[in-house]
Amino acid sequence: MPRWSFAGRLAMALALTAAVAAAVSALAGRWLPALPAGLIGFAAALPLALALAHRLPHRWVRVLQALHDGIVSLRDRDFSVSVAAVEDAELSGLIQAYNSLGELLRRERLDLYQRELLLDTVIQTTPLSMVLTDDGGRIVYSNAAARQLLRAGRKLEGLGFAAVLAAAPPALAAALGSGGDTLFTMEVGGEPEVYHLSQRRFVLNARPHRLVLLKQLTRELAAQEVAVWKKVIRVIAHELNNSLAPITSLAHSGRLLAAEGADARLSRVFDTIGERAAHLATFIEGYARFAKLPRPRPEAVAWAAFLARLEGTACFRIEGPLPSEPGSFDARQLEQVIINLLKNAAESGSQPAEITLAVRHTAPGFRIEVADRGTGLSEAALRDALLPFYSTKPTGTGLGLTLCREIVEAHGGRLSLANRAGGGARVTVWLP
C-alpha cells in the first residue's frame, strides 16, 4: 500500500468533499433553483468534511504528543523514551531524528558516567588529601585520604571546615591560615610528618569555592635530604682536602726551613698557610650562615631610604621612579640579597654605569630588577644557578644565589633569572 504524504491526503479529502458537494448540488438542481441547490450540496458535504478533518491529523496529533512527552523526559535526564515509527513521509523523518538524538544522549551519558567513575576512583585512591568547601565554609567533597587524615575515615561532607580543623593538629590550621601554598610539619600517629599544602579558589555554579590539597612529602624529603647531605659532604671534603694538603706540605717545608734558619722563605710559607686557613674559614662560615638563616621580621620600609643605604656598598644606577608606597620586608635580609645581586652583576664583566636597579609597584606586591650588560648566563647556569653548591666561579661556594632565594621565599616572594636582549642578565625579585 503506497504511503501518502499529509499534503496528498489533505488534497484527496478536499477533492472528495468537493465532489460530494457538486454531485448533491447537481442532483438538487433538477428540482430547485441554483442557490438552494448549492446550499443543499454544501450541507450534504459538511459532515464528510468534518469527519475527514478529525481523522486526517489524528496520526500527527498522536506523534506530536509522543514527541512532547519524549522532550519532557529528555529535560528530566531520562533518555530511555523512544517513539515508534509510523508510515508517514513527514513524520517518519521527524521520529527518526528524535530517536537518533535520544540514542546519542544515552551514549554520551554512559561515556560521561564512565569518565566520572574513573575520575572518582582516581581521586579516592590517590594519597593526596583533597577537600572542597563552598562559600559558607562547608565541605561539599572530600576523598578517602582526607577523611582518614582529618576524621579517622568518617564522612566529612556537610560539616563546617572550621569545626573539622578545630580537632586537627594546630600546625594544619596555622598553615591554612597563611592563605597560600606552604610546607609544614604536623604529628600523625605519633610521628612528625611533612606536608605540602596547596589552596586554590575558583567559581563553581556561580558560587566561590576553595580547594585544599594536602600531599605528604616526608619520604621524598628524607630521600632528598640524604642526597643533599651526601653532596655537602663531598663538597666539604673536596674543599678541606684542597686546603689541608698544601697546609700539610707547607708545614713540613716550614720545619725544614726553620731548621736551616731561612727566615724569608719561612715567612712566605707561613703567609701561604694563613691564606689557605682564611679561605677555609670563609668557606665554612658561608655554610654556617646558610644553615642558620633566621625567619624574616617584615616592617614598613621606604624604598628611597632603603636604596640610599646601598649606594656606598656597590656601583649601580637607579632606573625609573621609586614607588611611593613602602615595602614590607626585613630590611637587613633584603639588603643582603641586593648586595649579593649587585656584586654578581659587577663580576659579570659589565661596566659599572650599565648596572641598574629598578623597583616597580605591581599589585599586590613589588618587583625589584637588577640588570647588567655583562656576558650573560649560559643555559646550564640558568637551569642550575639557584641550586645549592652550584657555582661558575673558581672560588665560589655556590651558596650566594641560594641564600638570596631562601631569603626571598621566606618573605613569600619569588626570584628568577633571565638573559637580556642585547647581552647581559636580569635578576627579578618579586615581594608581596
71, 105, 139 — which closes off a domain? 105
> How far is 432 from 428, CA to CA, in rounded Å?
13
* 361 and 326 co-located in one domain: yes
**Residues 6 or more apart from 132 whose CB is under 8 A from it?**
139, 140, 141, 142, 209, 210, 211, 212
The reply to whether 404 and 322 lie within a common domain is yes
Distances (CA, A) of 408 to 25, 79, 325, 367: 106, 57, 19, 12
396 and 317 fall within a common domain: yes
pLDDT cut 70: percent of the chain above it: 69
**66 falls in which pLDDT band (50, 70, 90)?**
confident
Residue 243 belongs to a domain = yes
Do 239 and 286 belong together in one domain?
Answer: yes
Indicate which CATH number applies to the domain containing 345.
Answer: 3.30.565.10
CA 155, distance to chain mean position in Å, is 27
Q: Where are the beta strands (DSSP E) in 83-181?
A: 129-133, 139-142
User: To which H or E segment does residue 19 belong?
Assistant: helix 6-28
Beta-carbon contacts of residue 388 (< 8 Å; ≥ 6 apart) = 228, 231, 290, 398, 399, 402
Same domain, 342 and 402: yes
Pick the range with the lowest mean pLDDT from 189-193, 286-290, 372-376.
286-290
* Mean predicted confidence (pLDDT) in 264-288: 65
Please say if the pLDDT value at position 226 is more than 60.
no
pLDDT of res. 408: 87
SS3 state at 138: strand
pLDDT of residue 2: 46
For residue 415, what are the β-bridge partners?
Answer: 429
Greater confidence (1 vs 258) lies with 258
CATH number of the domain enclosing 160: 3.30.450.20
| pLDDT of 3 strictly over 60 | no
Average pLDDT, integer, range 235-250: 66
pLDDT at 394: 59
Q: What is the mean pLDDT of residues 343-369?
A: 88
Nine-digit cell at 408?
A: 626571598
Q: Which long-range contacts (CB under 8 A, 24 or more apart) does 359-362 make?
A: 359/303, 359/307, 359/320, 359/322, 359/323, 360/320, 360/323, 361/323, 361/325, 362/430
Calpha distance 277→257 (Å, rounded): 20
CA-to-CA separations, 398 to 227, 285, 429, in angstroms, rounded: 16, 13, 19
Q: Which domain holds residue 342?
A: 299-431
56 and 134 belong to one structural domain = no
- The amino acid at residue 185 is T
Please tell me the predicted confidence (pLDDT) of residue 269.
Answer: 64
Instruction: Give the DSSP letter of residue 353.
Output: G
**403 and 354 together in one domain:** yes
Find which of 21-25, 138-142, 245-249 is predicted with most confidence, using mean pLDDT. Answer: 138-142
* Tens digit of each residue's pLDDT (9 = 90 or more) over 77-91: 777 777 777 666 667
Q: Assess contact for 384 and 271: CB atoms under 8 A.
A: no
Domain-ending residue, one of 158, 191, 216? 216
Query: Comparing 241 with 141, which gets the higher pLDDT?
Result: 141
Instruction: Summarize pLDDT for 135-177 with one digit per residue, the tens.
Output: 888 988 888 888 888 888 888 888 888 888 888 878 888 887 7
Q: Using the 3D structure, point to which of 251, 269, 291 is the last residue of a domain.
A: 291
Q: Is residue 379 part of a domain?
A: yes
179 — alpha (psi -120 to 50), left (phi > 0) or beta? Answer: left
Higher local confidence (pLDDT), 46 or 397: 46
Q: Is residue 245 part of a domain?
A: yes
pLDDT value of residue 233? 57
Q: Is 116 inside a domain boundary?
A: no
With a CB cutoff of 8 Å and minimum separation 6, the contacts of 77 are 109
Residues 15 and 52 in one domain: yes
* Per-residue pLDDT, 1: 36
The reported pLDDT for the residue numbered 169 is 79
Query: What's the structural domain count of the chain?
Result: 4
Cell of 340: 649579593
Predicted local distance difference test score (pLDDT) of residue 274: 67
**Residues 85/87/92/96 CA torsion (nearest 10 deg):** 30
Q: Do 14 and 73 fall into the same domain?
A: yes
Calpha distance 29→159 (Å, rounded): 91
**pLDDT per residue as tens digits for the range 287-340:** 555 556 678 889 999 999 888 888 777 788 888 899 999 999 988 888 888 888
Give the mean pLDDT of the chain: 77
